[in-house]
Amino acid sequence: MEPEFATFQTFNDPTLADALVEVLEKHEINYHLQQVTTSANPLMALNNELDKEYIIKISPEDFTRANQILAEEQSVDLDAVESDHYLFAFSNDELLDLLAKREEWSAYDYQLAQKILSDRGVELSAEKLSQMEQERISELKQPEPPQTTWIILGYICAVLGGLFGLLIGWHLMGHKRTLPNGETVYAYTNKDREHGRVIFYLAIVGFIAAVAMQLLRA
C-alpha cells in the first residue's frame, strides 16, 4: 500500500521545487510532485508560469526529518547575501513572526532571519525556536470560527436540491489542514462539521427529489 502523502511545501517557482526534490531524493525521502493551475482560465495559464503552483507532498512521518535536513543543508553566509535582500528591511518583530510561522517561508529565509537577528544582538536558542514551533502548531490546531453564513446557504441549497449544497456539506464535514509537523486536523468545529454532515445528506435527498419531480413532469 502506498503511503498517504500530505502537502509539505508549495512553490510558484519550478526551480525552487526542483531544488527541494533534489534534497528529498538525496536523502531517500519518498515524495509526490503535483503541478496545479491557479488561474480560473486554464487556457490563459498554459504559457504563464505565474499561474502555476508546484506542490510537494511527503509522508507526514517524514515532516520532522525533512525539516531537519533542510535546516542542516541550508547554510547562510550573511556577508554573501545581497544588501538589498528584502529580509534586511524587516524589523526584529517581523523577523520573529517569520520564525514563528516557519511553514510560510522557505528554509533559506528561515535561516537568514536567524542570522539577521543574531547580527542585531537577538540570540535565539534551539529550545526557544522549538517552543515557538510548538506554540504555532497549537495555534494552527484551533478550528476556524463558526461558518454561519455557509451553513445557512448550505441548508437553503440542500432543500432546493442544488448540488452546491452537497459541496458545502462535504467541505464543512471533511476539510482538514496539515500542520507543520505533518499532523492533520479538521478545519472546522465539531458543531459545524455536524451541520455539514446534515447538509450533505439533505442535499442528496433534495437532489433525488428534484430529479424525481422533473421526471414526473416529463
pLDDT, tens digit, 9 for 90 and up, residues 65-96:
998 888 887 776 777 888 888 999 999 999 99
| Closest CA relative to residue 113, chosen from 91, 90, 95 | 95
pTM surpassing 0.85?
no
Residue 173 grid coordinates: 464535514
Distance, in Å, from the CA atom of 214 to the CA atom of 10, rounded to the nearest integer, reads 45
pLDDT tens-digit series, residues 6-36: 889 888 888 888 989 999 999 999 999 998 8
Please, which residues have CB within 8 angstroms of residue 122's CB and are 6 or more apart in sequence?
Answer: 92, 96
Is pLDDT above 50 for 40? no
CA-to-CA dists, residue 202 to 140, 166, 191, angstroms? 31, 8, 16
Look at residues 105, 113, 104, 102 and name the one whose alpha carbon lies nearest to residue 76.
113
Which domains are present in the chain?
1-72 (3.30.70.1370), 74-140 (no CATH), 148-217 (no CATH)
Is 138 strand, coil or helix? helix
22 vs 27: CA distance, rounded Å: 9
C-alpha Rg value of the chain to the nearest Å: 23
In angstroms, rounded to a whole number, what is the distance separating the alpha carbons of residues 135 and 141? 10
State the Cα–Cα distance between residues 193 and 21, nearest whole angstrom: 36
Instruction: Return the higher-pLDDT residue of 216 and 172.
Output: 172
Q: Is 11:54 a contact under the CB 8 Å cutoff?
A: yes
CA separation (Å) from 27 to 21, 107, 218? 10, 16, 63
- 32 phi and psi, to 5 degrees? -135, 125
Q: What is the pLDDT of residue 43?
A: 44
Residues 121-140 have a mean pLDDT of 93
Amino acid making up residue 47 = N
User: pLDDT-based confidence at 210, cuts 50/70/90?
Assistant: confident
In which residue are the cell numbers 463558526 written? 146
Q: Are strands 52-58 and 31-37 parallel, antiparallel or unpaired?
A: antiparallel
7 strand-pairing partners: 57
